[in-house]
Chain A
Amino acid sequence: MIPAQFDYVRAGSVDEAVAALAEHGDDAKVLAGGQSLIPLLRLRLSYPEVIVDVGRVDEMRGVRDDGGDIVIGAMTTHYDVLHDPLVREHAGLIVDATTTVADPAVRHRGTFGGALSHADPAGDLPAVAVALEAQMVIAGPGGRRTVAATDFFVDYLQTAVGPDEVLVEVRVPKHTGWGHHYEKFHRVAQSWAIVGVAAVVRRDNGSIGEARVGLTNMGATPVRAVAVEQALAGAAPDAAAAAAEHAADGTNAPNDLNGKADYREHLARVLTRRAVAAAAGGS
């Protein structure tokens, strides 16, 4: 199908993008890699009056080292994230999850920030951002502000980004040396996660010093499996199985054709056990 008519603004900088958004407000929509928005436009499920394309905003692209964090530009494609040495060294969990995002074509066009801003609860990256305690840098008319990943995801497809704002970059605390694993359950290779589990584990003298676990598609937003993390702190590596029994605690998993809530809860426990075991055991 052909999208409904819209005006098109190509922003050359973050400031230009924000100015365009400030002018058009709710009628405008930011176009990043277009892997979610373009299909929505073509299905005529979305008909913004103005598209603000940030595809040529160079300052939103790339990964840089900034002390205790790495900073990933929102417009960095999944492909570039996957092949970035800083990401590989300091945030391997992002690599684990990004390799499971859709297919190569989508990964060449789709962007890190676009996937986060779309905030699909079945998307892989939101749970990763939550597990890594990423900080989202959002630009708006009043300047920039930083929002913690847990506060960034508000509800289904809803983030803390206002209609006149744009996600510029994501600060990810370095998890250098942490074990990491993303365990995803889906029916076909490029489909959405029915449930996904993102785990990072800091090993400490043969035991688990600290663990962080994020869950994909176990609610309207990505959630941390807090009970699992508590059970793992200071535990032996083989504690994963017992700790994972708490994976579904406090979650509100959706019911749909892919699975009922109790099935997802089961998946969360199993996948958490695998993810934590893998993160604690190697890599």
Chain B
Amino acid sequence: MELEHRFTVPVPVAEAWDVLLDVERIAPCMPGATVDSFDGETIAGKVKVKVGPIQVTYAGTARFSEKDEAGRRAVIEANAKEARGSGTAAATITAVLTDSGGGSTDVIVTTDLAITGKPAQFGRGVMAEVGNKLLGRFADCLADELTGGTPAPAAEPVAAAAPASSATGADEDARAAPAAGSGNENPAAAVADATTGTPAPVARPAPAPTPIGSRRPPEDDAIDLLDAAGGPIAKRVLPWAVGLVVLFVLWRLVRRANR
């Protein structure tokens, strides 16, 4: 299954590229994920997905397999295994940035998913809409992140981005994952508390104070990808595509199981 998502961010290609490759910064955009470890290259973590009565946890790794700066093309490989089963999921995520003129950048994210094990028994049913919803959520967050990355007075761009993000729901949760510990010195990366719109301290990003689950906006219930157990301390993980896989698997299974 291949999913594609496009969006445009109002920053030059070079800046967007830097943000894209900053794993610590874009990782929070993946709802439902927790990081177990990050060695500078490979992230190990889990993605827990909940859709209605169904829960599945995938554990695995993600890393950049290609960073073509000249071509502005980055490829992320993610591999995961069901935490409570034998199924596996693999995703190849390709992000391509192109200059769309006027200091804006077009971003195209293409995701190729492959699954094995139990899900394979159920065929290749695709709830592209669910996948797209998740992808869209990630992309919205990424767009906010890229927009917020513009060199500007500290916190201002973030504060501006916060209201926009409220329309998408999950990215607020994702943003709530603190920038703390990321060591990111970029002032604009001091992620605002999207719920209150309050800019986080610039010099010393603090952990988000509230449990993530408590601030979940209504739309986020739609696809409850976010496990409160992830907590405000845990950083979010990159392999968002794993979530897509999981959803896709779940969908097949529930429909099959359902009757």
Contacts and interface: CB of A to CB of B under 8 A. Distances in A.
Q: Do A and B associate with each other?
A: yes
Interface of A: 4, 29, 35-37, 39-40, 42-48, 102-103, 106, 118-120, 122-123, 154-158, 190-192, 219-220, 252, 254-258
B130 interface: yes
Give the interface SS of chain B, mostly helix, strand, loop or mixed: mixed
Contacts of B126: 254-257
Interface stretch (B23-31, B101-109, B234-242, B247-255): B247-255
A124 B131 CA distance: 23
Nearest to B222: A155
Give the interface SS of chain A, mostly helix, strand, loop or mixed: loop
B56 A154 contact: no
Interface in B76-130: 84-85, 118, 123-130
A257 B53 contact: no
Interface of B: 51-56, 84-85, 118, 123-130, 221-224, 250-251, 253-259
30 contacts: A36-B53, A36-B254, A39-B256, A40-B54, A40-B253, A40-B254, A43-B257, A44-B85, A45-B54, A45-B250, A45-B253, A45-B257, A46-B54, A47-B55, A48-B53, A118-B53, A120-B254, A120-B258, A156-B222, A157-B52, A157-B53, A157-B54, A158-B222, A220-B222, A254-B126, A254-B128, A255-B128, A256-B125, A256-B126, A257-B125
Contact of A154 (B84, B221, B256): B221
Nearest to B127: A254
A154 B253 CA distance: 20
Nearest to B219: A155
A4 B55 CA distance: 12
Contacts of B224: 158
B254 A45 contact: yes
Given A157-B52, A158-B52, A257 B257 contact: no
Contacts of A44: 84-85
B259 A155 contact: no
Contacts of A156: 51-52, 127, 130, 222-223, 251
Contacts of B253: 40, 43, 45
A35 to B, nearest CB: 7
Contacts of B55: 45-47
A119 B52 contact: yes
Contacts of A106: 259
Given A44-B85, A155-B223, A256-B127, A192 B259 contact: yes
